[in-house]
Amino acid sequence: MNTKIMMIDDDPDFVAGIKSILEKADYSVDVAHNPKDGFQALQAGRYDLLLLDIMMGRGAEGVALARKIRKDPKLKEMPVLIITGLREQIAFLFPGQSVHPHFVETDELVEKPVEPKLLLEKVSSLLALAEEKKQKVPG
Partner 1 sequence: MNQRSKLLIIDDEEIVLDSCTQILAGGDIQIVTASNGTLGLQLLKEFIPDLVFVDLKMPGISGLEVLEGIHDFDPNMVAIVITGYATVTSAVEAMKKGAYDFLPKPFTPDELRLIARRGLEKRRLILETVTLRKEKEMLREQFAAIVSHELKAPLGAVQQNLFVLVDELSNQLTDEQKNRFERMQTGIGDLIKMILTWLRALSVDVNKIQETFQPTSIASVVSKAVETVQTHATRKDIEIVPSIAEPLKPVNGDEGTLVETLVNLLNNAVKFSRSGSQIHLNVEEDENDVLISVIDSGIGISKEDLPYIFNDFYSGKSGQAVEKGSGIGLAITRRIVEAHHGAISVESEPGKGSTFTIRLPALKVPEHA
CA 38 – CA 35 distance, rounded (Å): 5
Binding mask 33-62 for partner 1 (x = CB under 8 A): ----------------------x---x---
Nearest Cα residue to 53 out of 27, 68, 28, 35: 35
Q: Give the one residue of 3, 11, 105, 108 binding partner 1; rule: CB under 8 A.
A: 11
Closer residue to partner 1 in complex, CB, 45/57: 57
- Contacts to partner 1 from residues 92-121, by CB under 8 A: 92, 95-96, 112-116
Contact 37, 68 (CB under 8 A): no
73: part of which helix (H) or strand (E)?
Answer: none
Q: What one-character-per-residue DSSP string does 95-132 give?
A: TTS-SS---SSSEEEEESS--HHHHHHHHHHHHHHHHH
Q: Give the one residue of 37, 88, 121, 131 binding partner 1; rule: CB under 8 A.
A: 88
Binding site for partner 1 (CB under 8 A): 11, 13-14, 16-18, 20-21, 24, 55, 59, 85-86, 88-89, 91-92, 95-96, 112-116
